[in-house]
Amino acid sequence: MKTLQRLAAFWGGAALAVWTLLGLVVVLGAGYFLFEARPLVFEPLNRLLLWDWIVTYGWSNLGVTWWFFAFLLLLAVLVLNTAVCTWQKVAALARSGGQGPRLDWWLRFSPHVMHAAFIVILASHLFTYVFGLNAQNNVVWVGKEAAVPGADWRIGLEGIENTMYSGDRLAFYRGRAIAQEIKLKLIEPDGRVIRKTLAINSPVWHDGYSIHLKNYYPKAKKSMPGRPYANLIIRRDPGVKTFFFGTALFAVGLLAYLWQALRRHKRRGAKEA
């Protein structure tokens, strides 16, 4: 029992939190310079899942990636410290039995709600980076269909409609696309077809996947003869719902904390009056 108490005191201690945060500052400071020195090693993180990047780039470039692994380790320590500390404080509040006004007792939980939300948000990011999908360069030609990685439905391209620039201010840009509508059809296993329109910075969402436009052809009135196509990025983010839940939980905790602070300020003002 004493061993468990010592472990809880260590992992939930404020000293561990302070040293961990200082370690994160040092590691991220070193990471900034190493990232600037070798950006090509870290650029694939934008298109690869975490484990894929680790086995392809991380382990083979430890001279410049060590800080990233140290960052993950320190982040795990911070999460554990936050979880243990939050549990201890919540248990102590529950044992106190709510002395004083009941509302004040409930509002005392607000910082711990924010700490729990912090853990949920980090867990959602980890879940996405480990179990998600980030499939690049999925080229679909007009009139053709393509498989969607990890899904039982297919995607097809029905057409491309461009809005061309026709002004005089930028004469060199005349006849080039300033907006586009990429007409997609999503074919379910039962043959049902769902039609959606895709554009740059306007992704399409379907069945837990998001479809983003990376490139397409044609982009101008006078283009070289060729078959229209769209180059798509297909992503699956299994942690997005958990992330939104964590964000909402953090907002609730923050509002409750502000409410608690306002009540204390009002009470203090009433005593001084």
Per-residue model confidence as pLDDT tens digits over 131-162: 888 888 899 999 899 999 888 999 999 998 88
8 and 121 share a domain? Answer: yes
Q: Is the pLDDT of residue 168 over 90?
A: no
* Within a domain: 221: yes
Contact 121, 250 (CB under 8 A): yes
pTM over 0.85: no
pLDDT on residue 119: 94
Mean pLDDT of the chain: 88
11 and 127 share a domain? Answer: yes
Q: Is the pLDDT of residue 121 over 70?
A: yes
Q: Can you give the CATH number for the domain in which 175 is found?
A: 2.60.98
* Within a domain: 19: yes
- SS3 state at 5: helix
* Within a domain: 99: yes
Split into its structural domains, the chain has a count of 2
Is the link from the previous residue into 111 a cis peptide, with omega within 30 of 0?
Answer: no
Q: What DSSP character marks residue 148?
A: P
pLDDT on residue 197: 93
Token pair 């080229």 is found at 139
In which domain, by residue range, is 209 found? Answer: 133-236
* Both structure tokens of 205: 């969402």
Q: Average pLDDT of 235-264?
A: 91
168 and 190 share a domain? Answer: yes
* Within a domain: 250: no
Structure confidence by residue, pLDDT tens digits, 5-53: 888 888 888 899 999 999 999 999 999 999 999 999 998 888 888 888 9
Beta-carbon-side half-sphere exposure of residue 60 (alpha carbons within 13 Å): 7
Integer angstrom CA distances of residue 50 from 127, 210, 244: 10, 19, 21
